[in-house]
Amino acid sequence: MSESFFQSFILLLLVTDPFGNVPLFVSTLRQVAPERRHRVVLRECLIAFCLLLVFMLVGRPFLDALQLSEVALRIGGGVILFLIALRMVFPQPGGVFGQTHAEAIEPLIVPLAIPALAGPSALVTVLLF
Protein backbone atom coordinates (compact mmCIF):
# COMPACT_ATOMS: atom_id res chain seq x y z
CA MET A 1 0.00 0.00 0.00
CA SER A 2 2.67 2.52 0.98
CA GLU A 3 4.79 1.63 -2.07
CA SER A 4 1.84 2.18 -4.40
CA PHE A 5 1.03 5.49 -2.66
CA PHE A 6 4.67 6.58 -2.98
CA GLN A 7 4.74 5.72 -6.70
CA SER A 8 1.48 7.57 -7.31
CA PHE A 9 2.70 10.58 -5.34
CA ILE A 10 5.95 10.77 -7.33
CA LEU A 11 4.10 10.37 -10.63
CA LEU A 12 1.62 13.12 -9.77
CA LEU A 13 4.43 15.36 -8.53
CA LEU A 14 6.26 14.94 -11.85
CA VAL A 15 3.12 15.47 -13.92
CA THR A 16 1.92 18.61 -12.12
CA ASP A 17 5.48 20.05 -12.11
CA PRO A 18 5.08 22.47 -9.19
CA PHE A 19 8.67 23.73 -9.44
CA GLY A 20 8.38 24.34 -13.18
CA ASN A 21 5.20 26.34 -12.61
CA VAL A 22 6.86 28.82 -10.25
CA PRO A 23 7.81 31.27 -13.06
CA LEU A 24 4.23 31.16 -14.38
CA PHE A 25 2.83 31.89 -10.91
CA VAL A 26 5.31 34.73 -10.35
CA SER A 27 4.63 36.40 -13.71
CA THR A 28 0.85 35.97 -13.42
CA LEU A 29 0.69 37.30 -9.87
CA ARG A 30 2.93 40.29 -10.56
CA GLN A 31 -0.09 42.62 -10.81
CA VAL A 32 -1.82 41.19 -7.73
CA ALA A 33 -1.37 43.04 -4.45
CA PRO A 34 1.35 41.41 -2.31
CA GLU A 35 -1.02 40.76 0.60
CA ARG A 36 -3.46 38.90 -1.74
CA ARG A 37 -0.90 36.65 -3.46
CA HIS A 38 -0.89 34.02 -0.71
CA ARG A 39 -4.69 33.72 -0.83
CA VAL A 40 -4.73 33.52 -4.63
CA VAL A 41 -2.12 30.75 -4.69
CA LEU A 42 -3.95 28.81 -1.98
CA ARG A 43 -7.29 29.23 -3.80
CA GLU A 44 -5.83 28.07 -7.12
CA CYS A 45 -4.18 25.04 -5.49
CA LEU A 46 -7.46 24.08 -3.82
CA ILE A 47 -9.35 24.42 -7.11
CA ALA A 48 -6.78 22.22 -8.87
CA PHE A 49 -6.92 19.66 -6.04
CA CYS A 50 -10.73 19.52 -6.12
CA LEU A 51 -10.74 19.10 -9.89
CA LEU A 52 -8.19 16.28 -9.72
CA LEU A 53 -10.22 14.63 -6.95
CA VAL A 54 -13.41 14.84 -9.02
CA PHE A 55 -11.64 13.35 -12.03
CA MET A 56 -10.24 10.55 -9.88
CA LEU A 57 -13.63 9.63 -8.40
CA VAL A 58 -16.06 10.32 -11.24
CA GLY A 59 -13.89 10.31 -14.37
CA ARG A 60 -13.93 6.61 -15.26
CA PRO A 61 -17.71 6.12 -14.78
CA PHE A 62 -18.34 9.32 -16.74
CA LEU A 63 -16.21 8.09 -19.65
CA ASP A 64 -17.97 4.72 -19.53
CA ALA A 65 -21.36 6.44 -19.61
CA LEU A 66 -20.28 8.41 -22.69
CA GLN A 67 -18.76 5.22 -24.18
CA LEU A 68 -15.38 6.90 -24.71
CA SER A 69 -12.27 4.76 -24.89
CA GLU A 70 -8.79 5.61 -23.66
CA VAL A 71 -7.66 5.97 -27.28
CA ALA A 72 -10.34 8.60 -27.95
CA LEU A 73 -9.29 10.43 -24.79
CA ARG A 74 -5.66 10.44 -25.90
CA ILE A 75 -6.54 11.71 -29.37
CA GLY A 76 -8.73 14.48 -27.95
CA GLY A 77 -6.02 15.49 -25.48
CA GLY A 78 -3.46 15.56 -28.27
CA VAL A 79 -5.65 17.84 -30.37
CA ILE A 80 -6.13 20.22 -27.43
CA LEU A 81 -2.38 20.32 -26.72
CA PHE A 82 -1.73 20.92 -30.42
CA LEU A 83 -4.11 23.90 -30.45
CA ILE A 84 -2.45 25.36 -27.35
CA ALA A 85 0.96 24.88 -29.00
CA LEU A 86 -0.26 26.69 -32.13
CA ARG A 87 -1.34 29.65 -30.01
CA MET A 88 2.13 29.68 -28.43
CA VAL A 89 3.89 29.59 -31.82
CA PHE A 90 1.57 32.19 -33.39
CA PRO A 91 0.91 34.59 -30.51
CA GLN A 92 -2.49 36.21 -30.12
CA PRO A 93 -3.08 39.74 -28.80
CA GLY A 94 -4.71 38.31 -25.65
CA GLY A 95 -1.88 35.90 -24.85
CA VAL A 96 -1.87 32.10 -24.92
CA PHE A 97 -5.09 31.68 -22.95
CA GLY A 98 -6.89 34.66 -24.51
CA GLN A 99 -6.95 36.93 -21.45
CA THR A 100 -7.35 40.66 -21.80
CA HIS A 101 -5.67 43.29 -19.66
CA ALA A 102 -8.76 43.72 -17.51
CA GLU A 103 -8.83 40.01 -16.71
CA ALA A 104 -5.14 39.89 -15.88
CA ILE A 105 -5.55 41.64 -12.51
CA GLU A 106 -6.37 38.58 -10.38
CA PRO A 107 -6.51 35.18 -12.07
CA LEU A 108 -9.35 32.81 -11.25
CA ILE A 109 -8.89 29.19 -12.34
CA VAL A 110 -7.14 29.97 -15.67
CA PRO A 111 -4.11 29.84 -16.13
CA LEU A 112 -2.94 28.82 -12.65
CA ALA A 113 -5.29 26.05 -11.50
CA ILE A 114 -6.07 24.84 -15.01
CA PRO A 115 -3.89 24.09 -17.05
CA ALA A 116 -0.80 24.83 -14.95
CA LEU A 117 -1.45 22.52 -11.98
CA ALA A 118 -4.37 20.40 -13.17
CA GLY A 119 -3.44 20.23 -16.83
CA PRO A 120 -4.31 17.56 -19.37
CA SER A 121 -1.50 15.24 -18.30
CA ALA A 122 -2.44 15.43 -14.61
CA LEU A 123 -6.13 14.87 -15.36
CA VAL A 124 -5.42 11.83 -17.53
CA THR A 125 -2.98 10.49 -14.93
CA VAL A 126 -5.55 10.53 -12.13
CA LEU A 127 -8.18 9.22 -14.52
CA LEU A 128 -6.17 6.20 -15.65
CA PHE A 129 -4.47 5.25 -12.36
Q: Confidence band (pLDDT; 50, 70, 90) for 115?
A: confident
Q: What is the pLDDT of residue 92?
A: 72
Read off the pTM. Answer: 0.77
Residue 30: which region, alpha, beta or left (left: phi > 0; alpha: psi -120 to 50)? alpha
Query: Which residues are CB-neighbours of 73 under 8 A, at least 6 positions away?
Result: 63, 124, 127
* Interval 41-65: pLDDT, tens: 999 999 999 999 999 999 999 989 9
Regarding predicted confidence, which is higher, 104 or 71?
Answer: 71
pLDDT at 101 over 70: no
Q: What is the pLDDT of residue 93?
A: 73
Task: Work out the burial of residue 19: count CB atoms within 10 Å of its CB; fewer than 13 is exposed, 13-18 middle, 19 or more buried.
Answer: exposed
* Interval 14-26: pLDDT, tens: 999 999 999 999 9
Q: What is the pLDDT of residue 105?
A: 73
pLDDT at 126 over 80: yes
**Residue range of the domain that includes 16:** 2-128
What's the structural domain count of the chain? 1
